[in-house]
Amino acid sequence: APRPRRRLCGLFRDGGQAGCPLMEILSGLEALPHPRLKGPVVTWGVFDGVHRGHRRVLETLRDWAREISAPAVAITFDRPPSEVLTGRPVPLLVPLEERLRRIGETGVDFALVIAFTPEFALLGADDFVRDVVAGRLRARGIVLGHDSRFGRGREGDLDLLTRLGRDLGIEVRRCAPELHQGRPVSSSLIREAIAAGRLEEATLLLGRAPSVTGTVVRGDRQGTRLGFPTANIPLG
């Protein structure tokens, strides 16, 4: 049976720039191994919003991959891990399809989308690196943000990854944070700015005008009484 995959234009299929890059989207671990993934450089994360900090990681990944003529692979998840771990919905800055489109804009070659299930949440950091990154992907390099945590109970960090990399023959690089007023740019910082009505700040952090995706909930209907119905989305 053919492996599940589809192609996504890095900008827009219908009206983007001529010759814009294509990113191939792989659905789940069953899409691996892949015949065109030979010695890739890999990163992973939710990348919600694909903000300035995310783009710094993804562009570092892309540039390194180009230097060594390797595919650039971004692993992401179908939902935020905290949503599965806490059982509470997380308001997304962008939906999955938009997230993938914006990852593609950075020039990454492949996005691997993994369903973050309660079973996957039990996978330890060591097993994730050995089985998925080194085993299925056969990565030759890994790039992660400065404060990345991964694996069961967020046990994995860059120190553990560096030790594993030495054992497995995988080079590990740390990407320095993108700072805003002395604080690393993050999805939570952007949600905080949006919730406080600081939209100019959120725009600066994202690198574009913000939008939020979430579940509309019933409010107190004040907007309806004023003649301006609104959609209420909880931000925390």
Q: What does the pLDDT read at residue 227?
A: 53
The two three-digit tokens of residue 95, written as one number? 């939906």
Q: What does the pLDDT read at residue 53?
A: 93
Q: What does the pLDDT read at residue 19?
A: 38
The two three-digit tokens of residue 236, written as one number? 């925390």
CA atoms within 13 A on the CB side of 10: 14
pTM of the predicted protein model: 0.79
Q: Nearest to residue 114, comparing CAs of 28, 47, 48?
A: 28
- Show the low-confidence residues of the chain (pLDDT under 70): 1-21, 211-236
Q: What does the pLDDT read at residue 221?
A: 58
Q: What does the pLDDT read at residue 186?
A: 86
CA atoms within 13 A on the CB side of 168: 26
